[in-house]
């Protein structure tokens, strides 16, 4: 894809796309990560470990977050999950004394759509790597030290600072926004011509097929 401009990127399954504005919420997050494994306690723990970091973040920025990648290269776009369209190996298992990859079969690949913007209102930049300080804090009740909060948000940084960071270290910058109007995307990327046709029928006019390398 190799975008020359620094842009904000959000990826979502085609099945959830509509020609409209999307607003994230705790309920939507919980519903999207439900496993219904039959073990209610484990399912609740699984949900909490996905949602509680977002609730912590909501207290920091003042809104329930919708995540976006930021940058100008395929490596930056990769943190959205758009490359999962072509990821064949999804996990591994221990078999006959060694780990082997568990691969998708034909017809099992997802269909994600990428929405890209030159700018988005109310975006709050974050350090993607330091965000894992929050993701890994379930056992301490997300009691994040103030110095870690400063590392995550780097609030004294300008947009130029974040651009220098992402240029030097691709895939390390993200942003959160309170909502996103899919209709105003500067570019919409899809995995194949059939998806482009479906998106165009919804009303999107700036759709293209685009593939990026799978992030290892």
| Distance, CA of 196 to chain centre | 21
Instruction: Give tens-digit pLDDT for 35-44.
Output: 776 777 877 8
Phi, psi of 195 (to 5 degrees): -70, -40
For residue 5, give the DSSP letter.
Answer: S
Q: Are 56 and 144 in contact (CB under 8 A)?
A: yes
Residue of 68, 89, 71, 72 whose CA lies nearest to 214: 89
Instruction: Give tens-digit pLDDT for 5-16.
Output: 899 999 999 999
pLDDT at position 93, please?
65
CA torsion, ordered 8, 176, 198, 183, to nearest 10 deg:
-80
pLDDT at position 1, please?
54
Instruction: Give tens-digit pLDDT for 121-145.
Output: 999 999 999 999 999 999 999 999 9
Q: Are 190 and 207 in contact (CB under 8 A)?
A: yes
The CA-atom distances, in angstroms, between 158 and each of 155, 165, 209 are 8, 11, 33
Residues in a beta bridge with 99:
94
Domain boundaries, the chain: 7-209
pLDDT at position 120, please?
97
The pTM of this model reads 0.90
Instruction: Give tens-digit pLDDT for 188-202.
Output: 999 999 999 999 999
Joined tokens for residue 115: 């929405």
What secondary structure does DSSP assign to 81-114, as a single string?
TGGGGG--EEEEEEETTEEEEEEPPTT----EEE
């Amino acid at each position: 894809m190799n975008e020359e401009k620094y842009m904000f990127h959000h990826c979502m399954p085609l099945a959830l796309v509509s020609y409209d504005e999307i607003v994230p919420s705790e309920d939507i997050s919980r519903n999207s990560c439900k496993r219904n494994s039959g073990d209610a306690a484990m399912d609740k723990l699984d949900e909490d470990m996905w949602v509680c970091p977002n609730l912590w973040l909501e207290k920091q920025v003042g809104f329930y977050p919708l995540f976006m990648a930021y940058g100008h290269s395929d490596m930056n776009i990769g943190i959205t999950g758009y490359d999962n369209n072509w990821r064949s190996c999804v996990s591994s298992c221990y078999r006959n004394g060694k780990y082997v990859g568990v691969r998708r079969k034909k017809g099992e690949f997802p269909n994600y759509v990428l929405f890209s913007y030159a700018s988005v209102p109310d975006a709050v930049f974050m350090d993607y790597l330091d965000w894992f300080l929050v993701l890994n804090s379930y056992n301490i009740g997300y009691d994040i030290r103030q110095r870690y909060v400063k590392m995550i948000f780097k609030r004294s940084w300008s947009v130029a600072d974040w651009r220098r960071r992402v240029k030097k270290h691709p895939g390390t910058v993200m942003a959160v926004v309170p909502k996103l109007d899919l209709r105003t995307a500067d570019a919409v990327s899809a995995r194949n011509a059939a998806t482009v046709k479906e998106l165009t029928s919804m009303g999107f006019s700036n759709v293209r097929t685009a593939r990026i390398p799978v992030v290892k």
